[in-house]
């Protein structure tokens, strides 16, 4: 102890309460009887304890420890008998050490228990040392003055100027100035007023009696409050009693004052351990407590959590060290689903169950409400009332959870430290990083179901503070207008970890766009920082001195400001590592605090999230904080507090991490309800049809009906819980708000030009996925069409998809695919397609222009699906919603794959036609790429079905890989879709193929004819491979059938040969017949005829065992069938005329060979042509028009039109002579094995002789 000044003493007589007169004279504390009553009231004996003489004697501070020992049943007799207590060295009675270790003029009493100081700053020790455990000593101060009391080590040395607390080896408390000392000083304790307890509340009172009483209490109980089992069993029970007994306001006041006592009378580490154990206990109890009907347990635990977090010091400690670092505190925002319906009392809340009887593909009831029976209507209304009761109870819990987040986002509690919001931001960013990268401890990663609830509560708290700031700052924006300014993405203030940007890696963008950053955002990227940011530069050594000396100094501000020395932090290895791994950046303005002119630039330096301060986020006088580098397109007025912008950014990232995935997963409950409802309805129908005499079947059906009904009762109540916690109207509005935030963010980012590339990819992903969730997951209870501003939002999203699916600033393959798939889905539904048609005309034309770009070197399949969906409903027999061949075989199977109802867009089709007519190169480049991809897709399909057929014919049991089946079906679907795009093109702009005044029309028509003939030959050949694979009906190949592909080919032929002008029909007919692959029997196959009918005869009825378009009258109109018959008659007549003309020219004229023309195509069947007398191009081999079918094994595997007539040496592969001769003009490698062909020999089946010709 140390004293300053004179006449200051510590008197033993004043401490000993042996004489009432002496007590009154010295201390004046309280009468002995009142003290006895007070202590007995505080430390009452257990009711079962025997009344002993010792318990009846008056209690005072001298015998209080003995009384506490009796109450706690502390047995220290063994230690007492040994005369030593563990952790303590020295005599049993503690006295002052008058022999040494003190400084200054001190007068010590004879009993060595009192001392008076007469020097400037005297210090004296006691005779006891403690080295283990928790210890406390008491001193009674009998005079006024400045004094410090504390602990010191044996090595501590004092003098007249430095006493206890003034050295590194000592710690002291100064009650006069209310401060604690250890070389430096900080505030500690409260001045003058301590604590008093009455029947209603705790109040501060300056009575030494209460002070000493509490000192005894915490001396005994402080070590115990660090033990988890005592915290959970005793302290938690006590606090729960406080919360349950009074109102929330009373409970919060009580808990706050209890926490004040803990921080006042316990060491910081003791309180911290106690709070840590308390929060862990609260978390366990909240997480594992049963779901009772009124959710009272969860409500009490959340109220206690709120009461604890309302205490500022406790809240900041828990935020800094516990909530995100030790605990999975997101559990507090989760409302778990009951494992059993009975557990949550849902049977009482929802006594009547109901479920939709039928649902459409989009999840909405196809049965109108007006068609309900009276009983169904009554059940539905009762079920809805039960759902509302459940929702109201859950909303109470959700409001408490929002209050917790409001406390954590408080930024007004910055007295004596950092505000809670900025601590939360640091921890929240780390939480996002762990969940985004997956590099954290897997058990600590947040489960998706927790993340969903956390997101909704965070949005509620965020919007509350956003609108609160708007109320006090009229220039700010409402939360309905929220978005993230684009400068947040490139000024480095917010850490996006290793998440992909739209333009690629951040280090690459900083290099390539540094000039744009300087000109548009006034931000300079230091060249050495760019060098350090490259991933291949791993040298972390200090920069050599010569290099530092040779580096030119750079000015931070342009326009006449002298160059400033380069600061040392720009070349530190720590900063280099931070730059290399793209940590959070903060801006250091090394110029005077004044407004920056338009010509001035600002350099940035990087800081970790933990190093950021409030100024780095919110900004200061001339520092814009997170909004540094505002582009000229952005408004100057603030949106809101910068810290709230970062919270909003984190909320968007949370949705991208796992929320969308979980929303889709929870739809499974609704799907289960639909499946059981269908099963129950089928069972009821069977019961009605079952004969009454079959009692055994009736019993089984009745049993099944009961099982399905009980399961539906359970699932419908569980579905009510899911709708209240996940798919409620409020949750839908949260997701809708997040969608609009992303749309505005993308729109503002797009205005910055090249800097748009800095935006993280997840903003576009969230915009796409949140729209999908609103459309598909929240029905049928809530409809997106009821949301405010629904039409405007659809149009804005359509504009974003139309513009950015082909945006060159976006380089990521995944996000580009997502944009294309989203646009393809967008044009499938009438509402969204109308939104695409509402965007500005120039944007629509730009979108169609991008769709018509050549398919090479880009993902063409998705683009083709978009064009196909614009055409569905207009093509030949292209109005079906389910695959007709499947409905023909299984008409009652409700699980068959279905398609969206056709909704073609004539407006976008017109844009496509205008663009194809616009320039000489647009149509040829687009159609050549379509034909190339069609050739590839169909060839791959044929190759795969050959492998599938070979595997099916093996004797040993063999399973075809499901992935191979899926790829095979995909190639087939691609072939069909490409044919439909060709049909759309011919319908809209037939002159591209038929107007031979165009330089490329004839070439395109010939290529088209070749591909159409090959497809027809492969699909329509007798006993062919396609027939055998279709007959197998393998799982995964359901879409592979004659109808989809033959109808698409028929649509193209009808457009060319029936609907076109006379001159165009004549040209198309001549090219089609002149193609060596043309076989008239393939056209006959379309109508189920083995051979063409005689001229003027009526077509016979089709054979049911053969394919025929006439069998699909539900999907092909009478007019369309008439057009096919007209086409067949026309081709039959033209083929006969061409054959006759060919015979005449062969008898009377010399064949005139034209120059062999090579058409740029991947189809290996370009032929030499003969010119007939009539001027028409005719086949060089009239035998190709023969109607006699050829076995597929004997046909050329390349053109599938001519018989095999040549064999290659040395590999032995075969083809027709036309194909190999054409191929050898440009290539000497075999079609199949790529071996060099040395010679080609004639080959005939069962031939005995052959002729050899050189390949050269």
Task: Judge whether 114 and 13 are in contact, CB under 8 Å.
Answer: yes
Task: Judge whether 934 and 903 are in contact, CB under 8 Å.
Answer: no
- Residue 1098 has phi, psi (to 5 degrees) of -85, 140
Instruction: Determine the pLDDT at residue 62.
Output: 66
Work out the end-to-end distance of the chain between its first and last CA atoms, rounded to an integer number of angstroms: 112
Distance (Å, rounded) from C-alpha 1060 to C-alpha 987? 9
Torsion of CA 946, 952, 953, 958, to 10 degrees: 120
Instruction: Determine the pLDDT at residue 1143.
Output: 67
| Pairing outcome for strands 184-187 and 196-197 | unpaired
**Which DSSP string do the residues of 671-730 spell out, in sequence order?**
HHHHHHHHHHHHHHHHHHHS-TT-HHHHHHHHHHHHHHHHHHHHHHHHHHHHHHHTSSHH
Distance (Å, rounded) from C-alpha 1204 to C-alpha 1224? 16
Instruction: Determine the pLDDT at residue 649.
Output: 94
Instruction: Determine the pLDDT at residue 743.
Output: 96
- Residue 1109 has phi, psi (to 5 degrees) of -65, -25
Instruction: Determine the pLDDT at residue 541.
Output: 40
Ranges under pLDDT 50 in the chain:
4-30, 48-55, 74-83, 191-209, 358-370, 439-441, 535-599, 891-896, 1148-1190, 1247-1256
232-250 confidence digits (pLDDT tens): 878 888 888 888 888 888 8
Residue 641: other Cβ atoms inside 10 A: 21
Alpha-helix residue ranges (DSSP H) falling in 858-961: 860-871, 884-889, 906-918, 922-953
* The two structure tokens encoding residue 558: 């342009």
- Residue 95 has phi, psi (to 5 degrees) of -135, 175
What 3-state DSSP class applies to 1236? strand
pTM recorded for the entire structure: 0.73
610-638 confidence digits (pLDDT tens): 667 777 777 776 667 788 888 888 888 88
């Amino acid at each position: 102890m140390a004293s300053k000044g004179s006449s200051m003493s510590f008197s033993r007589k004043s401490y000993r309460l042996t004489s009432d007169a002496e007590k009154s004279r010295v201390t004046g504390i309280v009468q002995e009887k009142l003290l006895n009553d007070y202590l007995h009231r505080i430390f009452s004996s257990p009711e079962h304890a025997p009344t002993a003489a010792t318990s009846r004697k008056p209690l005072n501070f001298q015998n209080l420890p003995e009384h506490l020992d009796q109450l706690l049943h502390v047995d220290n007799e063994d230690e007492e008998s040994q005369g030593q207590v563990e952790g303590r060295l020295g005599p049993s009675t503690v006295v002052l050490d008058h022999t040494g270790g003190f400084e200054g003029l001190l007068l010590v009493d004879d009993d060595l228990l009192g001392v008076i100081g007469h020097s400037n700053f005297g210090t004296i020790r006691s005779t006891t040392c403690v080295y283990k455990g928790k210890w406390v000593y008491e001193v009674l101060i009998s005079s006024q003055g400045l004094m410090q009391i504390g602990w010191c080590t044996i090595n501590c040395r004092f003098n007249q100027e430095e006493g206890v607390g003034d050295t590194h080896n000592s710690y002291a408390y100064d009650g006069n100035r209310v401060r604690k000392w250890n070389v430096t000083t900080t505030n500690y304790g409260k001045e003058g007023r301590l604590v008093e307890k009455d029947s209603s509340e705790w109040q501060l009172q300056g009575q030494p009696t209460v002070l000493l009483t509490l000192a005894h209490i915490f001396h005994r109980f402080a070590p115990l409050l660090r033990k988890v089992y005592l915290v959970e069993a005793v302290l938690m029970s006590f606090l729960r009693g406080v919360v349950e007994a009074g109102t929330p306001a009373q409970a919060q006041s009580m808990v706050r004052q209890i926490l004040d006592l803990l921080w006042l009378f316990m060491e910081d580490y003791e309180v911290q351990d106690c709070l840590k154990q308390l929060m862990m206990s609260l978390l366990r109890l909240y997480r594992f407590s049963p779901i009772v009907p009124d959710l009272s347990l969860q409500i009490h635990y959340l109220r206690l959590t709120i009461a604890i977090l309302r205490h500022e010091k406790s809240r900041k400690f828990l935020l800094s060290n516990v909530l995100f670092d030790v605990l999975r505190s997101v559990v507090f925002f989760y409302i778990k689903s009951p494992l059993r319906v009975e557990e949550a009392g849902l049977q009482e809340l929802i006594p009547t169950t109901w479920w939709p009887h039928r649902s459409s593909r989009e999840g909405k009831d196809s049965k109108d409400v007006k068609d309900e029976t009276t009983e169904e209507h009554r059940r539905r209304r009762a079920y809805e009332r039960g759902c509302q009761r459940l929702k109201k109870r859950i909303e109470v819990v959700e409001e408490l959870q929002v209050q917790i987040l409001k406390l954590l986002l408080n930024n007004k509690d910055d007295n004596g430290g950092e505000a809670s919001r900025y601590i939360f931001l640091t921890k929240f960013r780390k939480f996002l990083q762990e969940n985004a990268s997956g590099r954290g401890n897997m058990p600590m990663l947040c489960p998706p179901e927790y993340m969903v609830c956390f997101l909704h509560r965070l949005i509620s708290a965020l919007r509350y503070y956003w609108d609160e700031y708007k109320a006090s700052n009229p220039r700010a924006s409402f939360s309905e207008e929220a978005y993230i300014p684009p400068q947040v993405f490139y000024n480095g203030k917010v850490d996006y970890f290793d998440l992909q940007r739209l333009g690629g890696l951040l280090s690459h963008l900083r290099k390539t766009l540094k000039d744009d950053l300087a000109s548009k955002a006034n931000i300079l990227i230091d060249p050495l920082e760019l060098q350090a940011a490259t991933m291949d530069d791993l040298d972390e050594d200090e920069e050599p001195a010569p290099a530092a000396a040779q580096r030119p100094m750079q000015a931070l501000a342009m326009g006449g400001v002298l160059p400033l020395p380069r600061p040392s932090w720009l070349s530190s290895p720590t900063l280099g590592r931070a730059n290399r791994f793209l940590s959070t950046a903060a801006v250091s303005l090394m110029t005077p605090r004044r407004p920056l002119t338009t010509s001035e630039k600002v350099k940035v330096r990087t800081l970790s999230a933990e190093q950021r301060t409030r100024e780095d986020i919110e900004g200061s006088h001339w520092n814009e904080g997170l909004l540094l580098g505002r582009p000229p397109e952005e408004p100057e007025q603030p949106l809101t507090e910068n810290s709230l912008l970062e919270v909003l950014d984190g909320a968007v990232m949370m949705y991208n991490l796992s929320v969308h995935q979980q929303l889709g997963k929870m739809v499974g409950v609704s799907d289960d309800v639909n499946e059981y409802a269908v099963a129950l309805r089928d069972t009821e129908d069977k019961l009605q049809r079952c004969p009454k005499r079959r009692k055994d079947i009736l019993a089984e059906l009745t049993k099944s009906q009961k099982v399905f009904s009980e399961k539906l009762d359970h699932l419908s109540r569980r579905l009510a819980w899911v709708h209240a916690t996940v798919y409620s109207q409020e949750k839908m509005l949260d997701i809708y708000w997040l969608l609009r935030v992303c749309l505005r963010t993308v729109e503002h980012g797009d205005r910055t030009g090249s800097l748009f590339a800095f935006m993280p990819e997840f903003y576009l992903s969230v915009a796409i996925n949140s729209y999908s969730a609103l459309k598909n997951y929240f029905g049928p209870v809530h409809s997106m069409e009821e949301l405010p501003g629904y039409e405007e939002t659809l149009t804005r999203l359509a504009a974003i998809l139309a513009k950015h699916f082909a945006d060159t600033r976006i380089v990521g393959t995944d996000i580009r695919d997502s944009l294309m798939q989203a646009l393809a889905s967008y044009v499938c539904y009438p509402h969204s397609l109308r939104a695409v048609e509402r965007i500005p005309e120039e944007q629509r034309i730009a979108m169609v222009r991008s769709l018509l770009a050549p398919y090479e070197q880009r993902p063409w399949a998705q683009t083709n699906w978009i064009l196909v969906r614009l055409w569905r409903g207009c093509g030949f027999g292209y109005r079906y919603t389910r695959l007709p061949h499947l409905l023909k075989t299984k008409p009652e199977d409700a699980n068959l794959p279905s398609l969206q109802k056709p909704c073609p867009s004539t407006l976008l089709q017109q844009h496509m036609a205008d663009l194809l007519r616009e320039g000489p190169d647009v149509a040829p480049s687009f159609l050549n790429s379509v034909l190339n991809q069609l050739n590839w897709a169909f060839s791959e399909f044929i190759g795969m079905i050959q492998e599938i057929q070979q595997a099916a014919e093996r004797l040993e049991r063999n399973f075809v890989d499901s992935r191979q089946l899926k790829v095979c079906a995909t190639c087939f679907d691609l072939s069909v879709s490409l044919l439909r795009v060709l049909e759309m093109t011919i319908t809209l702009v037939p002159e591209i193929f038929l107007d031979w005044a165009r330089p490329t029309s004839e070439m395109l028509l010939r290529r088209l004819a070749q591909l159409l003939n090959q497809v027809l030959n492969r699909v329509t050949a007798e006993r062919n491979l396609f027939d055998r694979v279709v007959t197998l009906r393998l799982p995964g190949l359901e879409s592979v059938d004659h109808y989809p592909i033959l109808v698409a080919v028929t649509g193209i032929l009808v457009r060319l040969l029936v609907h076109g002008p006379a001159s165009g029909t004549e040209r198309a007919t001549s090219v089609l017949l002149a193609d060596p692959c043309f076989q008239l029997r393939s056209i006959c196959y379309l109508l189920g005829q083995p051979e063409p009918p005689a001229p003027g005869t009526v077509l016979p009825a089709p054979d049911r065992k053969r394919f025929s378009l006439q069998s699909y009258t539900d999907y092909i109109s009478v007019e369309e069938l008439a057009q096919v018959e007209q086409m067949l008659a026309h081709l039959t007549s033209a083929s006969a005329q061409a054959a006759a003309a060919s015979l005449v020219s062969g008898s009377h004229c010399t064949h005139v060979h034209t120059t062999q023309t090579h058409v740029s195509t991947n189809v290996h069947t370009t032929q030499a042509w003969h010119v007939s007398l009539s001027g028409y191009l005719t086949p060089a081999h009239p035998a190709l028009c023969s109607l006699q079918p050829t076995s597929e094994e004997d046909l050329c595997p390349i053109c599938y039109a001519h018989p095999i007539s040549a064999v290659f040496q040395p590999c032995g592969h075969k083809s027709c002579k036309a194909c190999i001769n054409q191929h050898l003009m440009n290539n000497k490698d075999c079609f199949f094995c790529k071996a060099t062909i040395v010679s080609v020999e004639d080959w005939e089946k069962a031939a005995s002789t052959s002729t050899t010709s050189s390949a050269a």
